[in-house]
Amino acid sequence: MDTFEYKTVTVDCKDMEQTQDTLTDQLNRRGKEGWELVSSFTRPYLGSSQYSLVGLTYRVTLIFKRQNQPGTEERQKPRS
């Protein structure tokens, strides 16, 4: 039976131009490592100081998966 491992990567989206480059770099790097992007979502983040709300930024979470190589299933048993 095929088994898979999963990885999540979160990218801060403070500067949209930089974010696009960062996302592209992350996707290319993970792809070269054999990871496949299976989902992504944004998470709002309310930045704040001790005095007031500073602003709203977003974080993008990328979810990747790849097939386990033979012999790796034993090392990656879920923690209970």
DSSP string, 31-57: HHTT-EEEEEEEEEEEEE-SSSEEEEE
As a whole number, mean pLDDT of residues 21-48 equals 88
> With pLDDT > 90 as the criterion, what percentage of the chain qualifies?
39
27: pLDDT confidence band, cut at 50, 70 and 90? very high
**CA pair distance 15, 65, nearest whole angstrom:** 27
Decide if pLDDT at 62 tops 90: yes
Coil, strand or helix at 28: helix
Does the predicted TM-score (pTM) go above 0.95?
A: no
